[in-house]
Structure formats: structure tokens, C-alpha cells
A and B are shown apart, each in its own frame.
Chain A
């Protein structure tokens, strides 16, 4: 069943008739990242306005793999459960060379997490759910068919020129966040360029609708007999829609390859029959690039406008949501006057660190999938050959390393006796608590998690002292009987101690907010 694309109505903005008061935050782009930021800011009590040049959700499935961390973030924004309910949950990937399986992985081998390792869900559904939540939220003002034509800034504010079907107007904002995608017009208006690599390779990407009984797994092939010498991917989405990616080679003409008469025979070879309907087709090149800085005074970049990676690692949409996770609480504190604008430099540093990890993983996978002639091709082919006879080489086969949150460096106090997986810099591992989940209980505030001990009230943090259970002990205490964790509003572990030291906790909180 094809998706029913509904057009969002254009509503004449007040700025067309009279100057609008200065906005706190203006978000450019109503894709998943922009709308997620608006909802995240609303969770922190900050109003924002979202401008989009279009009036419809993403056409085509585009980002389909949503990671556990992305789902936890979407859950905080009120749409995570809906996404999981609609999505296809999966955690197993199988990689083939020619017709034999050479490697498989299980992304979430343990129980006791609210969210699954991954779901597949077309980007248009995620956008639909987010837009619905935003339209129901009095702190979010989404304006469709409002195209930004210019961005300027001075020390106090940014000024944005907007074009609508009924005329043009200008807006002032304390901060502008550009969530306007890989081709980011704002990036162009600011004269900023991406640094990084473009790979000379093209992939055909297609959504097809068919009735099939394939398991909910990610299937990847190197040099399959149905597509000789190239790579291919098959992945199931809701509504009997399947994603197929086929490597084309650099010498092909994207406009020719996109024609149904050329796409359909290729897909027939993949699925072995012609009983399917072509839903959407695109051709893309691989790029691994980022802006040198994501924060430019009053203009901030998040998501694809700040960094783009090649696919097969689910590191595009998921990393964009992680940008929002790192930005929302900080930007809210800055516009509320609780923290200095310098706090945004922590967003810049952390997400550049995250982007670099994604870029590194994506460019390694891309090199493995599309080796250049010479040693790259030699070693790639011999890893595949070795995988058939030596177990170690199976894990060297690289068809994409799937998105997991990075571990932020330079974090606070630690005690080596506590479990490594919950060390400072990591997202606090989820675990059941009483009749709820820790991810839910943490919410979006600064939390002192007191385990097996009492903690006095601490200014600027909520103390949570859940009853201990086996999973909580295993993930947070290990061999010890008590500990205190300080957890940031983005659910990242900031510091942890064996014994309660209220002064150390307060000092760490001040440092996180960059209070003087």
C-alpha cells in the first residue's frame, strides 16, 4: 500500500502584515531533525518556530534504520512507542559473499532495554509523527511554504529573510538552527564548505512493494550471482515495502539508471520474480564530509547540514537525532539566560567528535564495499576469501558498522571498580526500574542516581533512588554495593562515585552548565 502523502496547508505568517517580535530560536527545515529539535526545546519550556520551504514529508523512504538511541530520544519527544509499533524490529544482519553467508551479527543480544536495537521505518512516517506532535504543542510554530532566502547575523541576533506564496518578510532570532539537510541552503548562504571525501561510486536505491515471507533481517551481498561483481542490500520495511540498494559503478549515468525500464530488470534478478510494484527510486553517490565547525555564533548546524556520511551504517538520521540530544538542553539554558553562549561550544566539540567517529566508520565501510584497484581491491577480496576458511576474518568483512552512540571524551570523575559499560561519557544504559524503565525515569533533566545509598537534596538536580534489581546492579554496580551517578539531561553519564560527596556533585553540575 503506497504512502498517502498529504499536503500541509500554508497559513499566512503574522510577519507578512506586521513585524514579529524577536524569536528565541528559529529552526530552518521541518525534516526529522528540525522538528525533533523543536519538540526537545519545548520539553525544556522553550518556544521555537520552524520554517520549511516545502509542505510535505520526505518523498521516498530515505532514512529507514532507527537505532536504539534514536528511539530513546524519539520516546522522550513522545513518538518513540508509535515508531516501534509501526516499524519492523530487527537485530540480525547477514552478510553474503557470492551465494554463501560469511558473517552475521546480532545487535542487541541482551534483554532489559525498553527500545529494540533497530527498527526499520520509512522517514515519511517518522516525520509525520513528529509533525503531528509538534502541531499539537503550543510551544512549536511550524510554517510550511516559508522559504529562507537569506541569513545574516550580528552580535545580538540573526536576521532571516523568508519568501512565502503570499509575499516576503523578515524575522529576527536569538539563535538560528539550520536543519536543512545535506544540500543545506543556509550553508551556502553563509559561504561555508564541507571538508572530506567524495567516493567515486554510485548506488541505486529503490523501494518496492511485494508480498514475501523474508525474515526481518538485514541481508547484504558482496558480488552476488544476481548482480555480478557489485554489492547489494535487501531490507524489510513496514507496509510490505522492501529497500533494495544496488552498487552501479562510477561509469553509469544516474538519469538513465533511474528509469523504470532499467530498474525493474535489475530488481527482478534480486528477488527472482516480477511480482512487485516499484514505489520510489533514487541514485546517490557516497560522501563523507563535515563542516569544520557546527556553531557559527548565532547560527548553528545540526544533522545532515553539518555532516554527511555514506549509508550502510545508519549513521545519518540517527546521528542527527544525537545532535539534537546534545544541543537541545544546552540551547534552552542559553536562551533562558541560565548559561553563557559559550556552553554551545560543548555541543560543537561533542558532536564533531561524534561526527568524526561516524565519518571514520563510514569511510572504512565504503572503502571495503567499493575498493579502488590495487591493494584495496587485493585485501578486500582476500578478506572475503579468508572468511570462508578462517572464523576471525568473518568479522573483518565490512558491510557497514551500524550506529551506536559515541563515548564522549573528557568526562568527569570515575571509579574503575564500576562497570565499564556505564562509564562517564556513555549514554546511561537502560534497565528496568520498578514498573518502568530507567530511560523514561531519567527524562530530560539533570539526575543524581543514588544506588544502594542515600543522597541529600542537591540544587539543580533531581535525586532518583530506585529499588535495586539484578539488571540495575549488573549494569551500574558490578561487584560493589553502592554508587552515585550524575546523569546529564541528554542521559549521558557525567561522573560517578562510590561514595556520596555533595560538594563534588555540585561542582560537576556547575561545570556542565558552565556556571562561573
Chain B
């Protein structure tokens, strides 16, 4: 079983970050929220590991109340 990788694992993260913001360009707030939601589900399907996804959800929730 794979554990969630929370250490640096993405080359050119600055480029990804810029592309991510660029993908949102021209969208309304509800459309941006829709994009974020779809992106989470696309990436979840690609990861394909239930345990990793549970850990990711817990990490994201941590500290948000």
C-alpha cells in the first residue's frame, strides 16, 4: 500500500502553478469552483489508490475546523 507523498515530487511546480491559474482565466467564481471540483475528481481517478485519497482528504481538512 502506498502512502501519500507530501514531500517535493513535482518538477517545475512553478510552471504547473502558473498553468493552473491560467486555466482559470476568464471564469466566474462559480465556474472556477466547478473547475476545481472537476480537477480534484480527475486527479483522484488518476491516482486510483483509495488509501492515498483518504490521507489526502485528511491532510486538506486538517486545520480547517
Residues of A within 8 A of B (CB): 361, 364, 367-368, 374-376, 379, 383, 385, 388-392, 395-396, 398, 401
- 17 A-B pairs besides A374-B32, A375-B24, A392-B10 with CB distance below 8 A are A364-B14, A364-B18, A367-B18, A367-B21, A374-B24, A375-B21, A375-B32, A379-B17, A388-B63, A389-B62, A389-B63, A392-B5, A395-B13, A396-B13, A396-B14, A396-B17, A401-B14
Kindly identify, within residues 14 to 65 of chain B, every residue whose CB is under 8 Å from any CB belonging to chain A: 14, 17-18, 20-21, 24, 27, 29, 32, 59, 62-63
Instruction: Return the 4 tightest CB-CB contacts between A and B, nearest first.
Output: A375-B24, A390-B6, A391-B7, A392-B8
- Whether the Cβ atoms of B63 and A392 lie closer than 8 Å is no
- At the interface, yes or no: B9 with Cβ under 8 Å from chain A? yes
B13 to chain A, nearest CB (A): 5
Given contacts A389-B59, A389-B62, A390-B59, contact A376 B17 (CB under 8 A): no
B31 to chain A, nearest CB (A): 10
- Whether the Cβ atoms of B14 and A391 lie closer than 8 Å is no
**B7 / chain A contacts, CB cutoff of 8 Å:** 391-392
**B32 / chain A contacts, CB cutoff of 8 Å:** 374-375
Q: How far is the CA of A374 from the CA of B17 in the complex (A)?
A: 15
Q: How far is the CA of A401 from the CA of B6 in the complex (A)?
A: 22
29 A-B residue pairings within 8 Å (CB atoms): A364-B14, A364-B18, A367-B18, A367-B21, A374-B24, A374-B29, A374-B32, A375-B21, A375-B24, A375-B32, A379-B17, A379-B21, A383-B17, A388-B63, A389-B59, A389-B62, A389-B63, A390-B6, A391-B6, A391-B7, A391-B8, A392-B5, A392-B7, A392-B9, A392-B10, A395-B8, A396-B14, A396-B17, A401-B14
From B6, B20, B27, B62, A379 is in contact (CB under 8 Å) with: B20
Q: How far is the CA of A349 from the CA of B43 in the complex (A)?
A: 39
Q: How far is the CA of A216 from the CA of B35 in the complex (A)?
A: 44
**B63 / chain A contacts, CB cutoff of 8 Å:** 385, 388-389
Smallest CB gap from B7: residue in A: A391
Smallest CB gap from B60: residue in A: A386
A302 to chain B, nearest CB (A): 27
- Whether the Cβ atoms of B14 and A361 lie closer than 8 Å is yes
B12 to chain A, nearest CB (A): 11
Q: How far is the CA of A376 from the CA of B5 in the complex (A)?
A: 25
Q: How far is the CA of A176 from the CA of B62 in the complex (A)?
A: 61
**B18 / chain A contacts, CB cutoff of 8 Å:** 364, 367
Smallest CB gap from A389: residue in B: B62
Smallest CB gap from A401: residue in B: B14
Q: How far is the CA of A391 from the CA of B7 in the complex (A)?
A: 5
**A379 / chain B contacts, CB cutoff of 8 Å:** 17, 20-21
**A375 / chain B contacts, CB cutoff of 8 Å:** 21, 24, 27, 32
Q: How far is the CA of A375 from the CA of B33 in the complex (A)?
A: 9
Smallest CB gap from B14: residue in A: A364
**A392 / chain B contacts, CB cutoff of 8 Å:** 5-10
B43 to chain A, nearest CB (A): 14
Q: How far is the CA of A392 from the CA of B11 in the complex (A)?
A: 11
**B13 / chain A contacts, CB cutoff of 8 Å:** 395-396
Smallest CB gap from B23: residue in A: A375
Q: How far is the CA of A173 from the CA of B21 in the complex (A)?
A: 48
**B29 / chain A contacts, CB cutoff of 8 Å:** 374
**A396 / chain B contacts, CB cutoff of 8 Å:** 13-14, 17
A59 to chain B, nearest CB (A): 34
**B21 / chain A contacts, CB cutoff of 8 Å:** 367, 375-376, 379
**A398 / chain B contacts, CB cutoff of 8 Å:** 14, 17
Smallest CB gap from A394: residue in B: B8
Q: How far is the CA of A379 from the CA of B7 in the complex (A)?
A: 19
Q: How far is the CA of A365 from the CA of B21 in the complex (A)?
A: 13
B4 to chain A, nearest CB (A): 9
Q: How far is the CA of A395 from the CA of B6 in the complex (A)?
A: 12
Smallest CB gap from B27: residue in A: A375
A3 to chain B, nearest CB (A): 36
- Whether the Cβ atoms of A364 and B17 lie closer than 8 Å is yes
Smallest CB gap from A382: residue in B: B60
Q: How far is the CA of A367 from the CA of B20 in the complex (A)?
A: 13
A434 to chain B, nearest CB (A): 38
Q: How far is the CA of A257 from the CA of B65 in the complex (A)?
A: 39
